[in-house]
Amino acid sequence: MTTAITLPTLTAGTWAIDPTHSTVGFSVRHLMVSKVRGTFNDFSGAITVAEDGTPAVSAEIQVASIDTKNEQRDGHIKSADFFDAEQFPTATFVSTDVRPKGDDFVLTGDFTLHGVTKQVELNLEFNGVNPGMGHGAVAGFEATTVLNRKDFGISIEMPLEGGGAVVGDKITITLEIEALLQA
């Protein structure tokens, strides 16, 4: 159930995520000593704000649009070892609640990846609204969460000879979103 909460200056209506000015990114521990970062380049979504100010968020990511700046690695991640993008081409998020947390918010919702749906919480920062550049109002948001890939059935084990793993279990998701108020 969505909590009635008003985001300051966010007008009622539908705000479409602008993929040109937004980023869906992630990072994961690699070889126990560094992190691999990547993005998903094909995504869409909307924030619908009711007349009482209550927001609802829905989003979809095409998992085959992964980009870690390494084609071989991207191909492996798209395979059945990880995302199995042929069988599970999309990841989705549908919000169920938003609540204040200090000056920021916590956005809760159902996240589906690899055919598994789990409730996740995102730490959400509302960056405000700008009149835009002639195409209508623009709202900005940043959100982060940490997921365990094994919770979504991505359980490949790639152990290192001296201990640890090639790929960590925890994935940090970082969203930088601009949304445009639809006429």
Residue 6 included in any domain: no
C-beta separation of 130 from 137 below 8 A: yes
Residues 93-110 have pLDDT tens digits of 999 999 999 989 999 999
Show the CA angle centred on residue 154, arms to residues 148 and 158, nearest 5°.
Answer: 95
Domain of 132 in residue numbering reads as 13-181
Q: Is 100 inside any structural domain?
A: yes
Over the stretch 146-177, which tens digit does the pLDDT of each residue have? 999 999 988 877 666 776 666 778 999 999 99
Q: What is the mean pLDDT of residues 45-70?
A: 94
Structural domain contains residue 150: yes
> Domain with 156 in it: what CATH number?
2.40.128.110
5 in a structural domain: no
pLDDT at 31: 67
**Lowest-pLDDT range, 30-44, 57-71, 100-114?**
30-44
How many structural domains is the chain composed of? Answer: 1
Q: Which of 56, 64, 51 is nearest to 91 (CA)?
A: 64
User: Cα–Cα distance between 80 and 115 in angstroms, integer?
Assistant: 12
Residue 47 lies in a domain: yes
Six-digit token pair at 173? 């998701």
Tokens 């869409």 locate to: 44
Q: Is residue 32 situated within a structural domain? A: yes
Give the pLDDT confidence score for residue 131 in this predicted structure: 82
Q: Which residues pair with 40 in a beta bridge?
A: 24, 66
Output the DSSP codes for 117-177. EEEEEEEEEEEEEE--SSS--EEEEEEEEEEEGGGGT-----B-TTSSBSEEEEEEEEEEE
In a domain, 71, yes or no: yes
Bridge partners of 126? 141
